[in-house]
Amino acid sequence: MIDTKDFSFFESQNNFDFKGFLIKITSYWKWFLVSLFFTLTIAHQVNIRKEKIYAMETSIAIKEENNPFLTASTSLVFNWGGTSDQVQMISNTLRSRSHNEIVVDHLQFYIDYLQQSKYNYKDVYGEAPFHIVIDKAKGQLDNHLIEIKFLSESVYEIRIKFDNASVSCIRYLDNSTSTTSVVQGDFVKRYKVGEQVSLPFLDWKLEINDNPGFYKGNEYFVRFNNFDQVVSRFQGIGVEIDPKAASILTLSLTGPNKSRMVDYLNSTVKMLIKNQLDRKNQFATNTIKFIDSTLILMGKQLKDNGDELKAFNRNKNMFQIEAGGSEITSQLTGYDVRRDEITRKITYYNSLKSYLKNSVDYSRLPAPTVAGIDDPNIIVNVTKLIALSTQRSELAYSVKSDRIFKDFDNQMESLKKVLLENIASATSSLQYDLALVNSKINDVESSIKQLPEDKQEYLKIVRKYELSDNIYNTFLQKRSEAQIATAANLSDIHFVDPAKDIGGGQIGPNTNVNYVLAIFLGLIIPLFIVFVIFFLENSILNTEDISKLTNIPIIGVVGVKYGLSNLSVFEKPKSALSESFRAIRSSLQFLYKKNEIGKSKTLMVTSSVSGEGKTFCSLNIATVFALSDKKTVIVGLDLRKPRIFDDFKIKNDIGVVNYLIGQKSIDEVIQKTHVPNLDVITSGPIPPNPSELIIGDSMKEFMEILESRYDYIILDTPPVGLVSDAIELAGYTDVILYIMRQNYTKKDMITLLNNRLKRKELNNINIIFNGFENKAKYGTAYGYGYGYGYGYGNYAEGYHEDENPKNIFKKIFYRFFKK
């Protein structure tokens, strides 16, 4: 019965062998070198093929700039909200689609200028000797490489390869696309520099830049990209607020072309400054527009009044008419001016009231001061309303949150209510003032009625003219003040450090990181493979593996055979391999002496499965005994798969089978070999019942005859893991040699061997470790610890013949065809 102790092998496998794993790693050093070579080669190729990536930066400061020509209350329109709010708004604006669309369109960055490099197309913006001037209303070939070759300084050739019968064109005026038909194949045409190119799929004019350098014969490529995609790419501009100075913003871009990034960073800031200054001047601009429209009307009225006065003066005694009327005229003009001021204020209030109730855009409101209103409550609230309305319209392109817009709407609604109350109160007061002025004018007009008719008519005309002239001059003065205020305005945004290419700035590809990663992968990949091999390894790799799994002694370690013949000892008696068999012979003689075995010694050689080298070991063990002047015979008892006859150049026509079935005598089956003192009995024809022949009485007689004639009898038997023949023959043997081959014999086979030993099916077993490689994949020669092996490595020079093949092809040949 098999008990649980038979499976001790599986328990031993639970402990991870770190020493063996390290030995395994060092044995695969060639794998690591090959892996490192490939990974470093790939990293090198990646580094040289990738475009260099650069980073460009610019810094701006946000500082509230007050206009010295405006009062404190008026200047609130430009600065309301504070610096922190402006920083956030500017940060959002720089990333907004509307702002980046303006910059991209201004720079025409939807046009790529490229040149073929060794591995890719290089962006040569700023280096190309030419630029393209396009008609935005015409369609341009969308996302297609257009080759430009300069045949001379003034003539260039366009070459376009059309794969399809139709192409897509983009119209940058409204970013619309269309399709046009083309002829498949290569389109080639020549043009002069500066000549208008007008094609269904292309409309441009190529112009040479200043100081273009030598460009004759050079080839370039132009590509028109999708406008929205280009804008989206630049929307990723980096905007960082300095944590130590909240009013400082750092803008950054990364890309392969430094000139393009420098131009974009500087242009986006300049465009931002312009827009912010325009918004800041919105108050004064609205005022100037209102005054201009008023001046047109007042200028016409003043001209009409002047013409009327000239017509009255004709054929009149003006000296007599003007006498005594100057005081009345001056008094009446003063009242008229006062009444006009009050009327204009009331009119402005009424207009403002109507605008607040019927409009939603308040950015175009004229300044209250244009109507002479100096009420600080009205001025502050109107300026706040203009600022909120302008800010809301700007955020509409960059912010999609309804909550933010609701906040703006709520604030503006609150301001509207306050303004309507202020308007009602101010209008009521102005109505009272207007009534007083009208009363005074009526009193003066009553006294005028007592004057002669000519004088009354004259005073009436002069009164209208002077009132128009006074109003016209007043508006001219206010317009001049507004223009001065506009000119004196400064943007709140200032350059700290404009973007500039000063060399360097490269951030990628990070070649050092790529090489480090390549080294890491070059080590980790083979390490992982070795770990998997080691973890899944079920073959015997060294003598230590055998010692862990069984108590059966190892009496010899045999190296790798390099050659086609199995007679290694006879053919190369001074080789290290021959010495290993001599060491086995010494160990066997010790065992025979220890067990007090008589004159004739019988040795059975077997293994677990076919291919472990039992025939090879049988032949060479027999040879070393024969070369020591001992009569030796090797008997081929592997009746199912006979093999020992080939190496001795003899036939297998007659053998053991013929004797066991009574066809031949013992002398007829024994064959002499070219090795002195060594005879061979081959297995003979393959019988239908090999097991029955082995357990028959004739087998016993056969062995008795051999013991009487030979000093050593070597039995080459079948593998015990496949058939039972060897177990039946065990009773005729003094010592059993069990062959295990490195990297071939499975560890499970040792468990089966242990079971047979426990059941006493096999006795006096010793192990020979075959096919051991000291330098390759399997660690050090642990077998040397027993005092036997197959040489002394580098120290054996002069004592052993070198049997290792020098040629790599011979090594491979022997590896595949060795027996």
In this predicted model, which residue has the larger pLDDT, 225 or 544?
Answer: 225
Confidence of residue 358 (pLDDT cuts 50, 70, 90): confident
d(CA 259, CA 265): 10
Does residue 450 sit in helix, strand or coil? coil
Q: For 535, which DSSP code?
A: H
**Least confidently predicted of 49-63, 64-78, 625-639:** 64-78
Q: What is the mean pLDDT of residues 804-816?
A: 52
Q: What is the mean pLDDT of residues 283-302?
A: 73
Angle among Cα 277, 279, 285 to the nearest 5 degrees reads 95
What residues pair up with 801 in beta bridges, in sequence order? 575
In this predicted model, which residue has the larger pLDDT, 5 or 662?
Answer: 662
d(CA 284, CA 383): 11
Query: Is 285 exposed, middle or buried, given 0-12, 13-18 or 19+ CB atoms closer than 10 A?
Result: middle
In this predicted model, which residue has the larger pLDDT, 450 or 737?
Answer: 737
Does residue 540 sit in helix, strand or coil? coil
Q: Indicate yes or no: pTM above 0.85.
A: no
CA-based Rg of the chain, rounded to a whole angstrom? 55
- Of 119-133, 385-399, 597-611, where does the model show the most confidence? 119-133
- Best CA proximity match to 92, nearest among 417, 398, 408, 436: 398
Confidence of residue 246 (pLDDT cuts 50, 70, 90): confident
Chain region(s) in the chain for CATH 3.40.50.300: 543-817
Concatenating the DSSP letter of every residue in 707-731 gives HHH-SEEEEE---TTT-SHHHHHGG
Angle among Cα 372, 375, 381 to the nearest 5 degrees reads 110
Give the pLDDT of residue 369: 66
CB count within 10 Å of CB 426 equals: 19
Write b or e for each residue in 681-715: b if 16 or more Cβ atoms lie within 10 A of its Cβ, otherwise e. Answer: bbbbeebeebbebbeeeebeebbeebbeebbbbbb
What is the residue-averaged pLDDT of the chain? 80
Pairing of strands 155-162, 146-150: antiparallel
Give the pLDDT of residue 162: 94
Give the pLDDT of residue 506: 83
Give the pLDDT of residue 731: 84
d(CA 614, CA 558): 11
Taking 60 as the threshold, does the pLDDT of residue 367 lie above it? yes
How does pLDDT run across 606-646, given as a tens digit for each residue?
988 888 888 899 999 999 999 999 999 999 888 888 878 88
Q: What is the mean pLDDT of residues 239-246?
A: 84
Place of tokens 């013929």: 658
Q: What is the mean pLDDT of residues 677-703?
A: 87
Confidence of residue 353 (pLDDT cuts 50, 70, 90): confident
Place of tokens 């290792």: 804
* In contact, 631 and 677? CB cutoff 8 Å: yes
CA distance to 115, 218, 506, per residue, from 213 (Å)? 16, 11, 26
Give the pLDDT of residue 144: 93
How does pLDDT run across 741-790, given as a tens digit for each residue?
988 888 888 888 888 888 888 888 899 999 887 644 444 333 333 333 33
Pairing of strands 765-772, 554-559: parallel
How does pLDDT run across 726-743, given as a tens digit for each residue?
788 888 888 999 999 988
In this predicted model, which residue has the larger pLDDT, 101 or 470?
Answer: 101
Place of tokens 């199995």: 566
Is the Cα dihedral 636, 639, 641, 645 positive or negative? Answer: positive
**Least confidently predicted of 8-12, 514-518, 549-553:** 8-12
543-817: CATH superfamily? P-loop containing nucleotide triphosphate hydrolases (3.40.50.300)
- Of 266-270, 302-306, 364-368, 508-512, where does the model show the most confidence? 266-270
Type of residue numbered 558 = V
What residues pair up with 248 in beta bridges, in sequence order? 61
